Amino acid sequence: MEKTEKVQCLILGSGPAGYTAAIYAGRANITPVLYEGIQPGGQLTTTTDIENFPGYPSGISGTQMMEDFREQAVRFGADIRSGLATKADLSASPFKITIDNEKVIEAQTLIIATGATAKYLGLPDEQKYAGMGVSACATCDGFFYRKKKVAVVGGGDTACEEALYLAGLASKVYLIVRKPFLRASQIMRDRVMAHPNIEILFEHNAVGLFGDNGVEGAHIVKRMGEADEERYDIAIDGFFLAIGHKPNSDIFKDYLELDETGYIKTIGQSPFTKIPGVFAAGDVADTIYRQAITAAASGCKAAIEVERYLAECEYKECKKQ
């Protein structure tokens, strides 16, 4: 294992939260070190067009936006590196983070912006049509399906929320539910079942997608594995997954408070975790919004709090916790 490196501020993750934190920390002369993780640029790099982020009136690809964020962070002195955090020791300051099972970084402050990974069904067609009709965020991509037909997979509150949002844009929304009932709260069930643009397909499974230049339809099965199993196709232009997200927080579970899904719990609306000097930003701590702009805002808040924390430590001549 390489010699340990000491840094003032370590940022893990390279989505809007991580890069924004690096921009703010860099401008504060903290010289942050940022490790990009397994997917440089985060989930936005899988999005073709982004039209709801202020400052891009003509829209922009997710990949280009993240390249812009990265370039701006580098401009202000951020040290951006390839690598994945594979182990964490937050028992005492400085915090020890192992990168790629090789190098240990000792950080006086840590911003965790590792994001969350959308859950998929595991169909090969989900990868084939990524960015061509398959999405895990209705709020991000629903605009592109105005007056078109779409399907949402899932039966919980998130799926119902996505279906209702899309129903205000699309001409038709199929809600594909594996079980014979919705797991969502009663109010969400009532709203979905009452909406004229939503058709609920209970006891259905999506088993594939088809289309020449993008999604044109889905292969679905009713009562899969039963004697009365029925297979047929539905014509759709968009296929939305709403079966949950998995926060990338596993290496911190022994030190930070996580909710039942794995999201890092922060104090109120702040980026503070229960450990002074450790902050969480973006989708790894956001159970509600999961948007590029809210992630960027949380990265900004985390960097500002890092600056304040370091200034207070210098004033008090902070010792190891």
Q: Domain residue spans in the chain?
A: 5-117+245-316, 120-241
Q: What angle do CA 7, 13, 14 make, to 5 degrees?
A: 110
Q: Is the pLDDT of residue 50 over 50?
A: yes
Q: What residue has token string 């199993």?
A: 229
What does the pLDDT look like over 260-294, one tens digit per residue? Answer: 999 999 999 999 999 999 999 999 999 888 889 99
Q: Residue 190, Cβ neighbours under 10 Å: how many? A: 13
CATH number of the structural domain 5-117+245-316: 3.50.50.60
69 Cβ neighbours under 8 A, 6+ residues apart: 16, 19, 20, 23
CA 127-243-237 angle, 5° bins? 50
pTM of the model: 0.79
Find residue 177's DSSP bridge partners: 202
Domains 5-117+245-316 and 120-241 share a fold: yes
Express each pLDDT in 212-256 by its tens digit.
Answer: 999 999 999 999 999 999 999 999 999 999 998 899 999 999 999
* Segment 16-45, tens digit of pLDDT: 999 999 999 999 999 999 999 888 888 787
What residues are annotated to the active site?
A: 137, 140-141
Q: What's the mean per-residue pLDDT of the chain?
A: 93
Q: Which fold has domain 120-241?
A: FAD/NAD(P)-binding domain (3.50.50)
**Segment (H or E) for 5:** strand 5-12
**In 3-state terms, what secondary structure has residue 221?**
strand
